Amino acid sequence: MRISTILDHIDSGHMALPEFQRGYVWNRDQVRGLFASLYRRHPVGGLLVWATQADQAASRGDGQVASGVVKLLLDGQQRITSLYGVARGKAPKFFDGDERAFTGLMFHLDKEEFSFYQPIRMQDDPLWIDVSTLMKKGPAGLESMVETLAEQPEIGIRAAGYAGRLARILGILDVALHIEEVTGEHMTLDVVVDIFNRVNSGGTKLSKGDLALAKICADWPEARNEMKTKLKDWEQAGYNFNLDWLLRSVNTVLTGEAKFQHLHNKSGGEVRDALAHANRHIDNLLNMIAGRLGLDHDRVIFGRFAIPVMARYLDKMGGKLTETERDKLLFWFAQTGMWGRYSGSTETYIDKDLEALETENAGANELISQLRLWHGALRVQPGHFTGWSLGARFYPVLYLITRMGAARDWGTGLPLRANLLGRMSRLEVHHIFPKSQLYEATKLNFQRSEVNALANFCFLTKDTNLIISNRLPEEYFAKVEQDHRGALASQWIPMDPELWKIGCFRDFLEARKALLAEEVNRRMEELLHGDTQWLEGPAGAMAAPAVVGGGITSDEEQAELTTLNNWVVQQGLSAGVMGFDFSDPDTGEQRAIFDLAWMHGLQEGLTQPVAMLLNEAQDLLAIASEAGYRVFTSVDKFRDYVRREVLTVAEA
């Protein structure tokens, strides 16, 4: 079928995109490569479509599909969307992506090359022509362009020779693409999605959540958009959650199960009601977690997979909890994060916790009991603060006690719980003993894990952090105590002046870890309202953990990784997890912290897990490699991998 006919079918609604397809992910290099190949009449592959009755499969976008048989693109979406976008000068109705990928495609008549508009390079060169303008105007536009070119003194009679090249661009619309159809009553959504996953090797394989959502959208077409709208609301509030996570919460509320397959036989109406309930419960839970625990942004929500369980419990309780039950639920939430309850087999442990809620009169006590059976006693030991870097599992715990307790700023003396910290972007993490001073003390041989130890972190306002700068505690602690008596102790600083000296740094860390553990246990007891049985008994398996390697250790590293993560998202891929807690899948024991990780690969089911590790030791690289991760230590090499092996850039 000719490309022009395919584009006409999209306009008329006879060809569309199935709801389960993901959005447009191509970049400009891929669009340029496609048009260069078509200009040279190189093969660009055929299309695979699902020919089905319009009322039997949901399609994406706001446009109405034609009645009768409609052809839904299974393979070829990126090519057809690019062709439509350039040829029509606008995105198709089913578009979901960044239109800049195909806006402003230009062609140089002399060099015969495609490139996207660059003002400085192109504005004074009449041989650059706008491909969309030519294609929209057709043969009449070709004649007009040739006449305009002929009027240019530096071109003159050469314009006639360029007419053939302009015609060759227009001729792209006459190129025929082979279309293979899958059709028949036996082609159910399950079968078609399986076919899609098998043939779409250049795209992102559909996850179990995608398949569940596809089935939901067949009965309730607006489902995806409603969920994405809610996710955007949370994002604006500082919480970055994904579609699978929200769908998991809908699933637990509606079915009491973790696995997405339990959604397959639910009607659109049932899912719509469950989404409304889940959204309301999650809002309430985020308010509880932020208001009571002080965990007010996504970098410190370290037990996010506990939230689907909590949403189920809240739904069973009609959304109402007593103060004691609320606090016990928050105790359980914090503890799941501390011990990595969901770091391993997420679905398995969610199901176990959901099962605990199904007993008669079940409540937070049953959840805590399940956690204690799995981990042991839940009292925190000083050794739990042996971790280091912003990705350490107990980093959010340090934030929690700062926000819950009476911690005060060292410059103003004001309580830090009074909303002074704001969101993560304004949070100042302060090294009590400055990094530069510790590294310069070469005779003491301080290791990276000591310099960036959690016990060397505290939180301060931006102004205070700047004023203290890189001074040692022995230089400024006395002044802080003089101006704001008790402010040092409020941040669990050992008050022995000898420990403020750099030569006693290691002893300072040990003393502060004991104070931090004591404070955590005090806050946990507060949440239990006197029911401290859960904290007693033999210490848990992680009471004396080994030093865990890896993690983000500087603002510079964090900025570099954030930029890289944003770039990945701009390519149409999923964001990675910053400061990923890599844990034993069976015990939940934290083994390492990966700076930035895609645990299921950049394309789930098609590419292996990936870890970006900056300035890390060889033993950490070995841990990641042995776990099946493809490891990168260079941002440039990672970007090259994404372009060459993931995005599969079309060759010109």
The CA R_g of the chain, rounded to the nearest whole Å, is 29
Cross-strand bridge partners of residue 179: 47
Cross-strand bridge partners of residue 631: 611
Confidence (pLDDT) at 22: 65
Tens of pLDDT along 57-71?
A: 555 555 555 566 778
| Higher-pLDDT residue of 489, 218 | 489
With a cut of 70, say whether residue 35 has pLDDT above it.
Answer: yes
- Mean pLDDT computed over 107-135: 89
The span from the CA of 197 to the CA of 244, in Å, is: 18
| Higher-pLDDT residue of 371, 591 | 371
> Are 460 and 411 contacting, i.e. CB atoms less than 8 angstroms apart?
yes
Confidence (pLDDT) at 359: 79
CB atoms within 10 A of CB 429: 17
| Higher-pLDDT residue of 218, 129 | 129
Confidence (pLDDT) at 579: 76
Both structure tokens of 21: 């397809």
With a cut of 50, say whether residue 425 has pLDDT above it.
Answer: no
> Are 652 and 37 contacting, i.e. CB atoms less than 8 angstroms apart?
yes
Sign of CA dihedral 137, 139, 142, 143: negative
Band (pLDDT 50/70/90 cuts) for residue 538 is low
With a cut of 60, say whether residue 205 has pLDDT above it.
Answer: no
> Are 373 and 540 contacting, i.e. CB atoms less than 8 angstroms apart?
no
The span from the CA of 614 to the CA of 633, in Å, is: 5
Confidence (pLDDT) at 625: 86
Band (pLDDT 50/70/90 cuts) for residue 192 is low
With a cut of 50, say whether residue 169 has pLDDT above it.
Answer: yes
CB atoms within 10 A of CB 84: 22
Select, from the ranges 31-35, 40-44, 138-142, 325-329, the one with the highest average predicted confidence (pLDDT).
325-329
Band (pLDDT 50/70/90 cuts) for residue 84 is very high
Confidence (pLDDT) at 584: 62
Q: Would you call 72 helix, strand, or coil by DSSP? A: strand
Q: Name the region of 582 (left: φ>0; alpha: ψ -120 to 50; beta: rest).
A: beta
Select, from the ranges 135-144, 155-164, 328-337, 560-569, the one with the highest average predicted confidence (pLDDT).
328-337
Strand pairing of 428-431 and 179-182? unpaired
With a cut of 70, say whether residue 10 has pLDDT above it.
Answer: yes
| Higher-pLDDT residue of 466, 650 | 466
Average of per-residue pLDDT values in the chain: 84
Confidence (pLDDT) at 280: 97
Confidence (pLDDT) at 369: 92
Tens of pLDDT along 615-626?
A: 887 878 888 888
The span from the CA of 347 to the CA of 341, in Å, is: 11
Amino acid, single-letter form, for residue 619: D
DSSP type of residue 630 = E
Q: Would you call 536 helix, strand, or coil by DSSP? A: coil
In order of 59, 189, 552, the CA distances from 227 in angstroms are 17, 21, 31
Lowest mean pLDDT of 16-25, 152-161, 293-302, name the range.
16-25
- Mean pLDDT computed over 440-444: 91
Band (pLDDT 50/70/90 cuts) for residue 264 is confident
With a cut of 60, say whether residue 178 has pLDDT above it.
Answer: yes
Contacting residues for 28 by C-beta, under 8 A, at least 6 apart: 100, 101, 102, 116
Q: Would you call 498 helix, strand, or coil by DSSP? A: helix
- Mean pLDDT computed over 241-245: 86
In the chain, the N- to C-terminal Cα span, in Å, equals 23
DSSP string of 40-79, one letter each residue: TT-----EEEEEEEGGGS-BSSSSPPPSSEEEEEEE-HHH
Both structure tokens of 329: 């639920």
> Are 544 and 384 contacting, i.e. CB atoms less than 8 angstroms apart?
no
Tens of pLDDT along 445-470?
A: 998 888 888 999 999 888 888 899 88
With a cut of 50, say whether residue 541 has pLDDT above it.
Answer: no
Predicted TM-score (pTM) of the model is 0.69
User: Percentages helix, strand, coil for the chain, rounded to the nearest 5?
Assistant: 55, 10, 35
- Mean pLDDT computed over 261-285: 92
Q: Among 189, 355, 359, 369, which Cα is nearest to 259's? A: 355
Lowest mean pLDDT of 164-168, 424-428, 548-552, name the range.
424-428
Confidence (pLDDT) at 159: 80
Confidence (pLDDT) at 58: 54
The span from the CA of 425 to the CA of 123, in Å, is: 40
CA 12 to chain centre: 36
- Mean pLDDT computed over 246-251: 94
With a cut of 60, say whether residue 548 has pLDDT above it.
Answer: no
Share of the chain above pLDDT 70, in %: 85
Q: Name the region of 614 (left: φ>0; alpha: ψ -120 to 50; beta: rest).
A: beta
The span from the CA of 398 to the CA of 415, in Å, is: 15
Q: Would you call 232 helix, strand, or coil by DSSP? A: helix
| Higher-pLDDT residue of 569, 333 | 333
